[in-house]
Amino acid sequence: MLSCKIASMKPWLENFGPARLNSSGVAIVKLDVVVPTYNRSQLLCRTISSLLRTPIPAGLEVTILIVDNKSKDDTEQVVRDIQSRAAGSVVYIKETNQGLSHARNAGIRAGVGDIIGFIDDDEEIDESWYNVVVREFSHQATQFIGGPCLPNWATPAPKWLPPGYHAVIGVVVPKPRSPFGGTFPGILMGGNAVIRRSVFDCIGLYSTKLGRSGKGLLSGEDVEFYRRLCHAGLHGVYVPDLIIYHYIPADRLTRKYHRRWCYWRSVSEGISDRDSRSNVAYIFGIPRYRIGRALRGLASIPRHLFIAREAGQAFADELAFWDLLGFIYGKHFIRIEKYYGKPS
């Protein structure tokens, strides 16, 4: 039976060059799963547990790389305890440079996997996740894949959640299977992505000028990395059954959190626009469509504000204004060194 499984894996194994053999002489492909973490030891336990209990198909060897990004809680002890029971499949890495991109890059450098998966420390993978990875990378042309992030609500979602702002709470809604790039309505999100190691040799690592740090909610590292993927012409696929479940705590389900997240996301977009302007009309260095969207949103608020079923749209109208303010600050005023030291 084992020989049949290995035979069926041969086409995908051949996509990774000279075969590695395990102690039994069976050809394997190595998958590193990089999990950046910061002060979330309890949620991290659930993440690691899901990675350990999910069935691993024949021919795949998984190493879980936990990158501790200067946590102040008991993260290290929690991981060390799991390590003692995980037979070498869990690796603890400490990254002292604050920021999500620094943590991801540390995991990439520390691993040796042919392919590298990324999930966050508040997520759990679906029981078919590893099998989907094997299936998709059986195609030699496939360089990266991503999939949906489904909500795992801590409390029921409020009625005022704004349409079109799923990313605020870390949800990537399911879409039909599709190649990335072109007209695909989204990007490759680092909270659920699997990438060939050779891709990083080709286009480089995640930008450390962007991404969350202990001092701010700057983001945009996924957008910037995705642009490089597309510019290099690398083939990727959005895979609807590559599923993770993202824990959404009650403190994210507040208007204050949404305003802050949208503001800082747009700060990040303003920073990126300094180096790579969009092919649109600008007014005083700001894309004209952003100004128009904010003004239309403000004008529309009274129309939606007092109708209960339109509370979400009213809040979305307001968030368009926070988007504009953040972009202006990021484009013209922010000093990156305040958040990340010298730009790299």
CA 344 to chain centre: 21
Q: Report the pLDDT value the prediction gives residue 284, as an integer from 0 to 100.
A: 93
CA 98 to the chain's CA centroid: 17
* Domain match, 207 and 60 both: yes
81 by DSSP, 3-state: which? helix
Total domain count, the chain: 2
Amino acid at 275: D
Residue 54 has pLDDT above 90, yes or no: yes
Q: Which of 226, 252, 278 is the last residue of a domain?
A: 252
Q: Which of 190, 220, 252 is the last residue of a domain?
A: 252
Are 135 and 203 found together in one domain? yes
pLDDT, average across residues 148-165:
93
Q: What is the pLDDT of residues 285-323, one digit of tens each?
A: 999 999 999 999 888 877 666 666 678 888 899 999 999
232 and 290 in a single domain? The answer is no
pLDDT (average), residues 274-279: 87
137 and 266 in a common domain: no
Residues 325 and 200 in one domain: no
Neighbours of 143 (CB within 10 A): 21
Per-residue pLDDT reduced to its tens digit, 215-251: 556 667 898 999 999 999 999 999 999 999 999 999 9
pLDDT of residue 87: 82
Query: Is there a contact between 175 and 150 (Cβ–Cβ < 8 Å)?
Result: no
Q: Taking 70 as the threshold, does the pLDDT of residue 96 lie above it?
A: yes
pTM of the model: 0.85
Average pLDDT, stretch 38-60? Answer: 96
Domain shared by 260 and 245, yes or no = no
Instruction: Clarify whether residues 222 and 280 are in a common domain.
Output: no
Confidence of residue 271 (pLDDT cuts 50, 70, 90): confident
For residue 203, give its domain range: 2-252
36's tokens: 């950046």
